[in-house]
Structure 1
Amino acid sequence: MISGLRDAIYLRLRLWFRRGRGELSVRVAALVLGVACSLYGAGAIAQPDGLACLVDASARVKVGAAVTGLMAEVMVDRGDLVRAGQLVARLDSELEAAQVALMLAKSQNDAAVLTARNQLEFTSRKVERLRPLIASKAVTEAVYDEARTDMSGAQARLKDAERSLEQAGLELRRSEAQLRQREVRSPIDGVVTERLLSSGEYRYEQAPIMTIARIDPLYVETYAPIELIGRVRVGSRAAIEIEAPVGGSYTATVTVVDSVIDAASGTFGVRLSMPNPDRTVSAGLRCRLRFESAEARSELDADTAVKR
């Protein structure tokens, strides 16, 4: 009972310290962590029932928005499952929607282009009719030059109208992007763990709207004894036993092996990924693990026998 509590305190302090959380200063946190490491190193690492571990969410995202504004709607609440890309909240967007409608109308208004194109066709035909007459001196050079000038002006007006229509299309895309910024979508598949704002509240800059945790897969965090350096590798598998009263046996795969050893406890961090497609395992549970690698198991058993 005491050793299990000690393991849990140690793991949570290590994870908390690595994430930089808490209100204590770094010196106080380091002192607390050092005491925990001393207690942990006194006999909690190598036990017959495996290494102490902690099940954690594989990601926690504080979801915000690209802009500030009044919250129009929050579609989810704590405990709701969400999918990546799902609309979870929306800021007031009446002004942006009106701007999109305006720019859409402008981008579809091609009357100026049609008028300029007809004018160019007319002046082009006039120049073609005058070209043979200029050779026979039936018309003066001034009349012909005037017709060609009118045709050049029509060409310029057509290009300007087409450019304006293209610019209206680009402005429509910008307005649509600004409208999308008023929508908040989940970046991951997961479960809502906190709802921090509701409809009618104002979202200020950097203020999160909710927290979403990814629980498939789950991460299993543990600290292995230095004797397992080189024996526990990325890709190694481990059997996970969730502690009572929840219980349950699972298999996880090593995804991260720390390259820096904690000198105070003689351990190094290991992270494993554990599939949780049915979401039957909750984040935050304590567990024990044993590596399935024969080499790692034999080293852990030998270390256990020595410490006995």
Structure 2
Amino acid sequence: MADAETLPQDEASDASADGRQSARRTWLYRLGALVIVAALVWGVYYLLFGRNHVGTDNAYVNAEMAQVTPLVSAQAIDVRVTDTQPVRKGDLLVRLDPTNAQIAIAQAEADLAEARRRFRQTGATSQSLSAQVVARDADIVQARAALQSAQADYEKARVDLQRREALVGEGAVSGEELTAARKAFASAQAALAQARAGVSTAQATRNAATGQLEANDALVRGSTVETDPSVLAAKARLRSAKLDLERTIIRAPIDGVVTKRQVQVGQRVAQGSPIMTIVPLDKVYVDANFKEKQLRGVRVGMPAKVTSDLYGGDVVYHGKVVGFAGGTGSSMSLIPAQNATGNWIKVVQRLPLRIELDPKELKAHPLRVGLSMDVELDLSDR
């Protein structure tokens, strides 16, 4: 009886073991089939899609931000904007104290009036010097006439002296008369020399007057009261002063959102020091860092699909590659990697690409600088 009961139990256990092995084989077959199907699906995906697409999640929003810097140093008397405030190009941002600029304009206007007056004075001086030259010409004529008279007196005195000296031997001329003739000749000779000196003096005076006239004419020749160099320089200073006054009104250079405002009412701002930044949200782009092996087939102009963590995968931006960076991120870092050492280990480098986005999509779903993005490039358009 015991042997009869044991036999059915052994057969039951063997049947159970066979069932478990059969079930295990079934699951193994199913798992193998699933792996094969997955491999086939992946192969088809790679052949039809995967090999023509590369992607990265190492991408961030960036923009050509405008730094607002005052062009004059002055005290801020009115600040019209705050951080996160949207502005349009030309909107008033900050007003600076215009007092110094207004004083500079008044000084420049006075300098301009003085320059015009000096030019008119120089022109009047030329007329006066021209009259003096004419007067010096008359002096020369007068001096030459005096010289001719002195020459005539000299010749008469010389002839009289010669006659009297010729009659001395005959006793026809007294010693007193001879002495008077000699004295008259000496006086005529001195008068002739003085007349010659007078002509030379008149000519020299006339030459000096001519030189002064030419020098004064050189200051006004070819110019008018509005084209004189000193007047033009005064006008330039006036324009500069007016420009400084205009620069006390600081306006938005572009459309965007105010960020990093660093100016307060009453603060004295320095020329060239940034007081705020404006981010153009309608012109942002994406800097995507791709591994160097991913870039073998990438070309400028290729289409790109971009998604943002801000909106999720439901919002897809369409863009295109517009350029490659001039160097990898590590080479452009503050402390570049030194790979010449003996313990160098190769590290896959990433090269930034710039992706330009569709403005209409940006307007519908605005982005902010620094947001993380996922970028996928379509290589099938090579």
Gaps of 5+ in 2: 1-50, 147-197, 331-345
| Structure 1 runs of 4+ with >6 Å offset | none
**Match status 1:248 vs 2:254:** no
**Match status 1:99 vs 2:99:** no
- Describe the superposition over 1:104-145 as per-residue Cα deviations: whole angstroms up to 9, x where unpaired: 232144122112212212322453576488468359644454
Structure 1 pair 120–261 and aligned structure 2 pair: CA distance change class (3 A): closer
Separation (CA, whole Å) in 2 of partners of 1:287 and 1:260: 19
TM-score (ref. length: structure 1): 0.62
**Match status 1:195 vs 2:261:** yes
Structure 1 pair 138–181 and aligned structure 2 pair: CA distance change class (3 A): farther
1:153 to 196, 212, 219: 212
Amino acid at match of 2:368: A
Separation (CA, whole Å) in 2 of partners of 1:60 and 1:209: 13
Amino acid at match of 2:119: V
Q: Which residue of 2 aligns with 1:38?
A: none
SS of 2:282's partner is strand
**Match status 1:76 vs 2:76:** no
Q: Which residue of 1 aligns with 2:300?
A: 234
Separation (CA, whole Å) in 1 of partners of 2:87 and 2:145: 84
Q: How does 1:1-308 map to 2 (within 5 A)?
A: 50-52=55-57, 54=59, 56-78=61-83, 79-83=85-89, 88-109=93-114, 110-128=116-134, 131=137, 134=140, 137=144, 141=199, 142-143=201-202, 145-156=204-215, 159=219, 164-176=230-242, 178-179=244-245, 182-203=248-269, 208-243=274-309, 245=311, 247-258=314-325, 259-260=327-328, 264=347, 267-276=350-359, 279-280=363-364, 281-284=366-369, 285-294=371-380
Is this contact kept in 2: 1:240–1:251, CA < 8 A? yes
Q: Quick check: 241-250 or 67-76, which moved more?
A: 241-250
- Give the drift of 1:188: 4.2
Separation (CA, whole Å) in 2 of partners of 1:149 and 1:87: 63
Is this contact kept in 2: 1:237–1:292, CA < 8 A? yes
- Describe the superposition over 1:208-255 as per-residue Cα deviations: whole angstroms up to 9, x where unpaired: 311111223211122324432232233322122345647533322223
Aligned Cα root-mean-square deviation (Å) = 3.9
Structure 1 pair 177–157 and aligned structure 2 pair: CA distance change class (3 A): farther
Gaps of 5+ in 1: 1-45, 297-308
SS of 1:59's partner is coil
Separation (CA, whole Å) in 2 of partners of 1:97 and 1:66: 16
Amino acid at match of 1:100: I
Amino acid at match of 2:376: R
Higher Cα Rg, which structure = 2
TM-score (ref. length: structure 2): 0.52
Is this contact kept in 1: 2:54–2:378, CA < 8 A? no
Amino acid at match of 1:279: K
Amino acid at match of 2:380: A
Separation (CA, whole Å) in 1 of partners of 2:247 and 2:378: 48
